[in-house]
Amino acid sequence: MSETISIYTDPRCPHCQQLKQYLTRRSIEFVDHDVTQDEEAASEMARIDAPGVPVTYIGEDVLIGFDPERLEAALKENGISSQVETGANH
């Protein structure tokens, strides 16, 4: 993967959980910053004036909220392949 994906989340946020599941199911690596525990992460949220979490950084793209279509487009734009795990039982 050429770009590092950073996400800013709150463990109580259902959209944050959806984002993490989405990325994990597609075998996409990411760095998770918990804004409730990490003061630098909380400061970053304030710096960009984000209204809430989740916030996703992919290259130069900053996505606020969880929107699978916008997320997929940003992944493709940044050359990050997304493959859904099948979860087949053996």
CATH code for the domain defined by 5-77: 3.40.30.10
Q: Say how many C-beta atoms besides its own lie within 10 A of residue 66's C-beta.
A: 21
Indicate whether 88 pLDDT > 50.
Answer: no
pLDDT single digits (tens) 26-78: 999 999 999 999 999 999 999 999 999 999 999 889 999 999 999 999 999 99
Q: Give Cα 67 to chain centroid, integer Å.
A: 10
Confidence tier at 3 by pLDDT (50, 70, 90) = low
> 83 Cβ partners below 8 Å, 6+ apart?
26, 27
Q: What is the pTM of this model?
A: 0.86
Could you state, in order of their start, the residue ranges of all structural domains in the chain? 5-77
Contact assessment for residue 14 and residue 73, using Cβ atoms and an 8 Å cutoff:
no
